């Protein structure tokens, strides 16, 4: 059922000027403001209805590859909503020991999980974490008199953010092809590496779900030319308790807390992208970080400090604090055993699901996700048609190494029964003809949406619609 725009329900114009009770002269004010004016009951219905037009993780399986859409434990909302969590960032350290202690403990947890020596919590999302990584690498090289390094190597199958982040950092991107088995081609890497290499950005397991078996060798090769090795944490949910980026030779990594640590994705964000580094890079991390204060208080106290060669800030304050509270709560709830179990079952679920679907999965052994090929079908159409079966489809058409890719990550939270239902949806669609696929979906509230015309003549506000 269609829900009108707020502006279609009401638009009220408020005039502002000297003649009313404005406390300002009218050359300092706008003339008027025109927005919807609706009562609380009307608003409650508007947003309730809109919410009912959204597929969320509590609606069913959400197997978006590389997105790790896992169940968001409800209790983490409660702890983030504690009044004691609502503090202003400019308060004194003395009056915010709770916030500082939680951050300190979270830094410590994340360091242990990733095998990293120092952690910053400031980056407000994974891509911002990548940016910190790239800026830290740049600062490190600069500090060592190697400011000439201007290349970042990235495998072709990597996440788009890697490329965009390297470019934002001012680096030239050197794209690295995969080998026949879907992993880093060592010869191509050898050829790409040089004295201009600032860093290699790697996801492990990679976007095909494959573990980069040669990781030790790769690390050596990168380090041999003086480059740094960056770990994209998007796929960390595959490895918890079984392997750590720090132990593999990575120098810097980000954590995607809405993926690995189950904070809600909120329809696009907020996330958080803490960054861990080896001790050599710690002096370059953003400011401020949290440490334990010296001096013998009975209870430890905490303080902020600026790393010696800090790159400065990548967020106006301290990042997405409320998301960090949820992250801490999730890790504290699961502990070692829970985290390791999550990875084990995430990998089991991916393998089981792949075994139950008719589509071909060309690369293996995969871990928490696999990339099937829709073959002769259009992967995007397959996704649309899956919507008709009441499940969310996988990520499509990427990575491009698999034709018509269906990149699928069920995560550990799905039961066998749900995986069976999901497999049934895959298999039902696999048997359908192109006509059906091209017009899908036809059981959803909104039918296939014309994205081309949306981009050709963009209408980006209700103001733009008024002219029609």
Interacting residues with a second copy (CB under 8 A): 1, 9, 39-42, 44-45, 48-49, 52, 56-60, 71, 73-74, 390, 413-415, 417-418
Q: Return the number of other C-beta atoms located less than 10 Å from residue 63's C-beta.
A: 29
Q: Which does 463 bind (CB under 5 to 8 A by kind): a second copy, another protein, none?
A: another protein
Q: Which does 242 bind (CB under 5 to 8 A by kind): another protein, a second copy, none?
A: another protein
* From candidates 17, 50, 148, 181, binder to another protein by CB under 8 A: 50
Site for another protein, residues 432 to 451, rule: CB under 8 A: 439, 441, 444-451
Q: Is 175 helix (H, G, I), strand (E, B) or coil?
A: strand
Query: In terms of CB distance, is 212 or 409 closer to a second copy?
Result: 409
Is residue 159 within the footprint of another protein (CB under 8 A)? Answer: yes
Residue with tokens 């993780």: 57
Q: Which does 241 bind (CB under 5 to 8 A by kind): another protein, a second copy, none?
A: another protein
Pair of tokens at residue 154: 């990235």
- Whether 106 contacts 434, CB under 8 Å: no
Q: Which does 288 bind (CB under 5 to 8 A by kind): a second copy, another protein, none?
A: none
- CA–CA–CA angle 108, 227, 240 (5° rounding): 35
Query: In terms of CB distance, is 211 or 230 closer to another protein?
Result: 211
- Whether 175 contacts 156, CB under 8 Å: yes
- Whether 438 contacts 381, CB under 8 Å: yes
- Whether 275 contacts 257, CB under 8 Å: no
Distance of CA 85 to the CA centre of its chain: 23
Is residue 323 within the footprint of another protein (CB under 8 A)? Answer: yes
Query: In terms of CB distance, is 45 or 143 closer to a second copy?
Result: 45
Q: Which does 333 bind (CB under 5 to 8 A by kind): a second copy, another protein, none?
A: another protein
Q: How far is the CB of 422 from a second copy (least distance, A)?
A: 13
> Which contacts of 297-301 are long-range, i.e. CB under 8 A and separated by 24 or more positions?
300/101, 301/97
Pair of tokens at residue 18: 């000297």
Alpha-carbon distance 157 to 307, whole Å? 34
Alpha-carbon distance 412 to 106, whole Å? 23
Is residue 186 within the footprint of another protein (CB under 8 A)? Answer: no
Candidates 192-200, 241-249, 371-379, 401-409 — which segment interacts with another protein by CB under 8 A?
Answer: 241-249
Residue 284 φ/ψ, nearest 5 degrees: -100, -5
Is residue 16 within the footprint of another protein (CB under 8 A)? Answer: yes
CA atoms within 13 Å, Cβ hemisphere of 243:
20
Alpha-carbon distance 231 to 250, whole Å? 6
Is residue 232 within the footprint of another protein (CB under 8 A)? Answer: no
Q: Which does 1 bind (CB under 5 to 8 A by kind): another protein, a second copy, none?
A: a second copy
Q: Is 131 helix (H, G, I), strand (E, B) or coil?
A: helix
* From candidates 181, 191, 213, 434, binder to another protein by CB under 8 A: 213
Q: How far is the CB of 417 from a second copy (least distance, A)?
A: 7
Is residue 144 within the footprint of another protein (CB under 8 A)? Answer: no
Is residue 183 within the footprint of another protein (CB under 8 A)? Answer: no
Number of amino acids touching another protein (CB under 8 A):
201
Candidates 195-203, 223-231, 235-243, 370-378 — which segment interacts with another protein by CB under 8 A?
Answer: 235-243
Query: In terms of CB distance, is 71 or 352 closer to a second copy?
Result: 71
Q: How far is the CB of 290 from a second copy (least distance, A)?
A: 29
Alpha-carbon distance 202 to 176, whole Å? 11
- Whether 437 contacts 385, CB under 8 Å: yes
Site for another protein, residues 367 to 396, rule: CB under 8 A: 367, 383-384, 387, 392-393, 395
Sequence length of the chain is: 468
Q: How far is the CB of 417 from another protein (least distance, A)?
A: 8
Candidates 187-195, 243-251, 276-284, 290-298 — which segment interacts with another protein by CB under 8 A?
Answer: 243-251
Alpha-carbon distance 189 to 174, whole Å? 10
- Whether 165 contacts 204, CB under 8 Å: no
Q: How far is the CB of 294 from another protein (least distance, A)?
A: 18
Is residue 410 within the footprint of another protein (CB under 8 A)? Answer: no
Is residue 313 within the footprint of another protein (CB under 8 A)? Answer: yes
Alpha-carbon distance 166 to 143, whole Å? 19
């Amino acid at each position: 059922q269609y829900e009108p725009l707020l502006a279609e329900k009401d638009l009220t114009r408020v005039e502002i000027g000297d003649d009313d009770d404005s406390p300002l002269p009218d050359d300092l004010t706008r003339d008027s403001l025109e927005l919807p004016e609706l009562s609380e009951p009307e608003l409650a219905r508007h947003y309730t209805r809109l919410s009912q037009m959204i597929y969320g993780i509590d609606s069913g399986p959400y197997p978006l590859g590389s997105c790790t859409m896992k169940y968001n434990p409800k209790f983490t909302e409660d702890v983030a909503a504690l009044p004691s969590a609502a503090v202003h960032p400019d308060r004194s350290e003395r009056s915010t020991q709770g916030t500082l202690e939680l951050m300190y403990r979270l830094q410590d947890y994340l360091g242990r999980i990733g095998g990293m020596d120092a952690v910053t919590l400031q980056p407000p999302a994974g891509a911002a974490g990548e940016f910190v990584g790239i800026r830290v690498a740049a600062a490190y090289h600069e500090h060592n008199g190697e400011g000439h390094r201007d290349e970042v190597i990235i495998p072709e199958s990597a996440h788009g953010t890697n490329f965009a982040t390297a470019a934002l950092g001012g680096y030239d991107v050197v794209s690295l092809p995969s080998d026949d088995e879907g992993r880093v081609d060592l010869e191509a890497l050898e050829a790409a590496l040089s004295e201009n290499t600032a860093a290699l950005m790697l996801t492990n397991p990679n976007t095909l779900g494959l573990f980069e078996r040669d990781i030790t060798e790769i690390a050596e090769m990168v380090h041999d030319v003086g480059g740094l090795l960056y770990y994209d944490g998007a796929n960390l949910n595959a490895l918890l308790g079984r392997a750590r980026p720090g132990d593999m030779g990575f120098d810097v990594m980000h954590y995607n807390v809405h993926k690995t640590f189950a904070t809600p994705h909120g329809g696009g964000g907020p996330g958080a992208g803490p960054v861990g580094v080896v001790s050599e890079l710690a002096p370059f991390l953003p400011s401020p970080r949290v440490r334990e204060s010296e001096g013998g208080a009975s209870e430890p106290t905490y303080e902020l400090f600026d790393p010696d060669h800090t790159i400065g800030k990548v967020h106006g304050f301290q990042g997405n604090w409320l998301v960090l509270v949820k992250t801490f709560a999730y890790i504290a709830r699961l502990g070692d055993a829970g985290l390791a179990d999550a990875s084990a079952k995430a990998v089991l679920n991916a393998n089981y699901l792949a075994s139950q679907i008719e589509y071909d999965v060309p690369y293996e052994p995969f871990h928490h996700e696999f990339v099937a090929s829709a073959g002769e079908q259009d992967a995007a159409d397959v996704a649309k048609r899956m919507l008709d079966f009441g499940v969310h489809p996988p990520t499509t058409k990427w990575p491009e190494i698999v034709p018509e890719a269906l990149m699928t990550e069920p995560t550990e939270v799905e039961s066998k029964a749900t995986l069976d239902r999901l497999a049934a949806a895959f298999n039902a669609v696999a048997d359908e003809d192109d006509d059906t696929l091209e017009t899908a979906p036809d059981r959803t509230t909104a039918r296939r949406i014309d994205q081309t015309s949306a981009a050709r003549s963009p209408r980006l506000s209700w103001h733009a619609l008024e002219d029609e």
